[in-house]
Structure 1
């Protein structure tokens, strides 16, 4: 093997390693995570303007520990899943979310990351890195008079109004924890969501599109809820959970793509599917 060939192979290996280790830019854009100490439920929902399959976003972003807590790992996402697994293990141990953020800060790419963490003791923490895409925000809090705690965060948002209005919707919506989370996700969408996304142009011949598109600010969206007794998987987001609804664009594969009669805005389609699921729940679901 010649010297030039050896150098070429070495360079290719270095590039491949860099692709794994460097943060992947702006994969997740806005998310809502919440817990209800009264019911033991944890919930995460999110949407982003990255056109991928229906399992992509939750698979790279969500950290779900039934009976313990929930987290979102987004912005410059760690493609190695080391950060996600750190959060997962520490939530299992009962580590304070603020301490988990401190541990994550050892990552050289920490300022490109965004995190929200909430546990079932009511502790919350968040981080929005200085090199996150503008607008980037995270807000944590408790719904007054309840045992409900939340963290809502986003990056590359259209305006600075997105997250504060999502928080207001979450706090003021009545009903189950998932109702609050869906309302917050929708409100972020209504206030502009991801600044990169728009609807496709209308057909040049003036015909009606096969699938409607209303104010698309994301390509994919999902909502996930775990009850206290749900079973974790062997990773940070692949357990058996009480609720998992996800939406992807029609050009993707799988049973959860947007279909005729739905909407190319995945948050609107997620709302439709969530409402259908909600009707199947007993009156006692609160």
Structure 2
């Protein structure tokens, strides 16, 4: 790449980022792709009581069906410029490590956290030094598969939240969504986000078992799912979102447990060939 081209690209990056201040949102997330099926799955949970339309997905996830996905978290860029940069670079085919390099011009970088995976099996993660206790990311490949992942979290109960999620992800058999749900549950059991419990409002009118977040979601994008107008508002094959306001009395105030209930109900509607 010529010096002029590189300079032009960096100017575009600076213009995209803008660096608007944002609130710090602790969370954990799983980003994964299956090269055999071309499916992408992203899931996450947090103790910040977000509600639709400003959901956790809307501020965190980056999804390019058939290409790759990312989670942009910790100190969320409320302007969406970081997320837009990641989205556009994934569409171009840029390596995840190169995308992280482009993000390094952000003066708030040490308060950010990123996990990026693409359909070529390339992964990258970054956890800034100012993300509070137990901020870490892990990338890898499920042995014997074409499944690649990035699992990350910050302000967690302990590092075991991420390491337990990784262990569950690689050990679980079945569809990519099955692996991601197992990882979400493992993170929840390990303590999840350190800032909320069943005693922490808001509280849904439902039984509460070991709550470690206020909201949770899972999405799956098929290769041909259409893009939307932004970096994560396409029409995806699966999107389940649990918030304290939409939990039913027959469900559980722990969003991950309710996410499991709703996921299992959806899973039963899928053909035997779904894997």
Given the two structures, how large is their TM-score scaled by the length of structure 2? 0.90
CA distance in 1, matches of 2:247, 2:68: 30
Contact map agreement 1:114 1:127 (CA 8 A) in 2: yes
CA distance in 2, matches of 1:40, 1:48: 27
Is 1:40 aligned to residue 35 of structure 2? no
User: Which residue in the other structure is 1:94 paired with?
Assistant: 93
Q: Deviation string for 1:38-62 (max 9, x for gaps)?
A: 0000000000000120441000000
User: Which residue in the other structure is 2:142 paired with?
Assistant: 143
Structure 1 residues without counterparts, runs of 5 or longer: 1-19, 202-208, 251-256
1:23 Cα offset (Å) = 3.1
1:210 Cα offset (Å) = 4.5
CA distance in 2, matches of 1:110, 1:210: 39
CA distance in 2, matches of 1:54, 1:265: 18
Is 1:276 aligned to residue 274 of structure 2? no
Is 1:172 aligned to residue 171 of structure 2? yes
Contact map agreement 2:210 2:254 (CA 8 A) in 1: yes
Q: Deviation string for 1:92-140 (max 9, x for gaps)?
A: 0100000000001111101100000000000000000000021101000
Superposition misfits of 4+ residues, deviation over 4 angstroms:
none
User: Which residue in the other structure is 1:285 paired with?
Assistant: 274
Contact map agreement 1:249 1:266 (CA 8 A) in 2: yes
1:200 Cα offset (Å) = 2.2
CA distance in 2, matches of 1:244, 1:180: 16
User: Which residue in the other structure is 1:224 paired with?
Assistant: 219
Given the two structures, how large is their TM-score scaled by the length of structure 1? 0.87
Q: Tell me the secondary structure at the aligned position of residue 21 of structure 1.
A: coil
Higher gyration radius (CA):
1
User: Which residue in the other structure is 2:159 paired with?
Assistant: 160
Q: Tell me the secondary structure at the aligned position of residue 63 of structure 2.
A: strand
Is 1:265 aligned to residue 260 of structure 2? no
